[in-house]
């Protein structure tokens, strides 16, 4: 009786409230079964509103083969190569802010993270769904591909203005931008962005690009610290994804037979036994670890005079090139720039 009348007598909002109340108060089984038809309706409504909520952001996809006419060309920058040990050794890490500008950069990134968490309904309690991961990763990667390009443009213009050599900065920065774009293109095979996500992409380009351009102009050190912190957050997200895939908590992606995008296999040259979502996550996380270490290091350097320590000096090939992947805090200036002495309270160089 109640079941047949319920849809006409109770509004959708009331049904939702009743379902919520029953769940929150751990109502006895008999009470729940009395309201089972209503609860079913409420769950359906919640489910549909969730689908609507996420379909404006993303829709999950299973990667397909590229269309036959797709031209595959040599990449501008070849994909990075990693040993298995490196892929497994990346862990979340944090560089403690040491000055006001560091603190500001850290607070901005944490604030942005909280906003994204709220927008995608993420908590520390429940594993994320593929749709939640897709929404976060598409947004994160569309943002992450901007700063490297902005910084490279600044270095390019600076070199033109001053008639000075760039000393290797532009290559690393452009490589970072390209690498982030490959992350986005890889994930576009796993998720179709909805209209709201596409709006966010435009926002990232129209607003974030200009904010980045202004910030890099005002303070390059602050800018690179901000990017370093952004990368720390990316590593947190990919590490969580790695753990949840490993624990079998991500429906579809935890299955080792789930196909990974062709573009990723080609870019990272992923061997057959690692063509799973678990290893793909580790490849991308290793890239983010590189960006984290590089940007935290760049934030420690003298932007006008120091060379980029991550590019080999072709006139002195015996000079070591530091590996930023396993260095969450980046390198201090005295560790990577010849002739710079450590401050008295710093320990000996740990450059490896």
Rule CB under 5 A: which residues touch Fe ion? 141, 144, 180, 183, 231, 288, 291
Q: CB-wise, 175 or 231, nearer to Fe ion?
A: 231
- Residue-level length of the chain: 352
SS3 state at 192: strand
Q: CB-wise, 19 or 284, nearer to Fe ion?
A: 284
Are the beta carbons of 215 and 265 closer than 8 angstroms? no
Q: How far is the CB of 337 from Fe ion (least distance, A)?
A: 24
Q: CB-wise, 6 or 291, nearer to Fe ion?
A: 291
Q: How far is the CB of 288 from Fe ion (least distance, A)?
A: 4
Q: How far is the CB of 289 from Fe ion (least distance, A)?
A: 9
Name every residue whose Cβ is closer than 8 Å to that of residue 253 and which is 6 or more positions away in sequence.
130, 245, 277, 278
Q: How far is the CB of 290 from Fe ion (least distance, A)?
A: 8
Q: What DSSP letter does each residue of 263-281 carry, written as one string?
A: HHHHHHT--GGG-SHHHHH
Q: CB-wise, 57 or 137, nearer to Fe ion?
A: 137
Beta bridge partners of 349: none
Q: What DSSP letter does each residue of 321-336 carry, written as one string?
A: ----TT-TT---HHHH
Q: What DSSP letter does each residue of 199-249 carry, written as one string?
A: HHHHHIIIIIHHHHHHHHHH-HHHHHHHHHHHHHHHHHHHHHHHHHHHTT-
Tell me how many degrees the CA angle 138-131-178 measures, rounded to the nearest 5. 20
Q: How far is the CB of 180 from Fe ion (least distance, A)?
A: 5
Best CA proximity match to 94, nearest among 106, 82, 83: 106
Q: CB-wise, 22 or 149, nearer to Fe ion?
A: 149
Q: CB-wise, 147 or 220, nearer to Fe ion?
A: 147
Q: How far is the CB of 141 from Fe ion (least distance, A)?
A: 5
């Amino acid at each position: 009786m109640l079941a047949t009348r319920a849809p006409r007598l109770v509004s959708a909002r009331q049904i939702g409230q009743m379902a919520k109340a029953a769940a929150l108060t751990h109502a006895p089984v008999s009470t729940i079964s009395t309201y089972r038809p209503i609860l079913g309706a409420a769950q359906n409504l919640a489910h549909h509103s969730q689908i609507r909520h996420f379909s404006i952001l993303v829709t999950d996809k299973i990667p397909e083969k590229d269309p036959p006419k797709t031209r595959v060309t040599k990449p501008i920058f070849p994909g990075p190569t990693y040993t298995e040990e490196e892929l497994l050794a990346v862990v979340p890490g944090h560089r403690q802010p040491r000055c006001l500008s560091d603190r500001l950069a850290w607070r901005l990134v944490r604030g942005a993270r909280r906003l994204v968490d709220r927008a995608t309904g993420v908590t520390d309690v429940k594993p994320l769904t593929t749709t939640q991961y897709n929404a976060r990763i598409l947004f994160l990667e569309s943002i992450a591909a901007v700063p490297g390009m902005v910084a490279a443009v600044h270095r390019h213009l600076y070199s033109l203005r001053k008639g000075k050599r760039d000393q290797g900065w532009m290559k690393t920065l452009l490589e970072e931008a390209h690498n982030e774009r490959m992350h986005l293109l890889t994930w576009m095979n796993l998720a179709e962005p909805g209209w709201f996500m596409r709006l966010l992409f435009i926002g990232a380009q129209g607003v974030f690009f200009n904010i980045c351009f202004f910030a890099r102009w005002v303070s390059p050190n602050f800018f690179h610290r901000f990017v370093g912190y952004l990368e720390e957050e990316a590593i947190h997200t990919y590490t969580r994804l790695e753990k949840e895939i490993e624990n079998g908590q991500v429906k579809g992606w935890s299955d080792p037979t789930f196909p990974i995008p062709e573009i990723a296999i080609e870019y990272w040259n992923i061997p057959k036994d690692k063509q799973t979502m678990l290893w793909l996550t580790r490849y991308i996380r290793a890239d983010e670890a590189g960006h984290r270490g590089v940007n935290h290091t760049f934030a420690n350097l003298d932007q006008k005079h120091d060379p980029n320590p991550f590019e080999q000096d072709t006139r002195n090939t015996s000079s070591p090139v530091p590996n930023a992947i396993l260095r969450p805090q980046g390198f201090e200036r005295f560790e990577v720039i010849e002739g710079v002495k450590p401050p008295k309270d710093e320990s000996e160089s740990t450059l490896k």
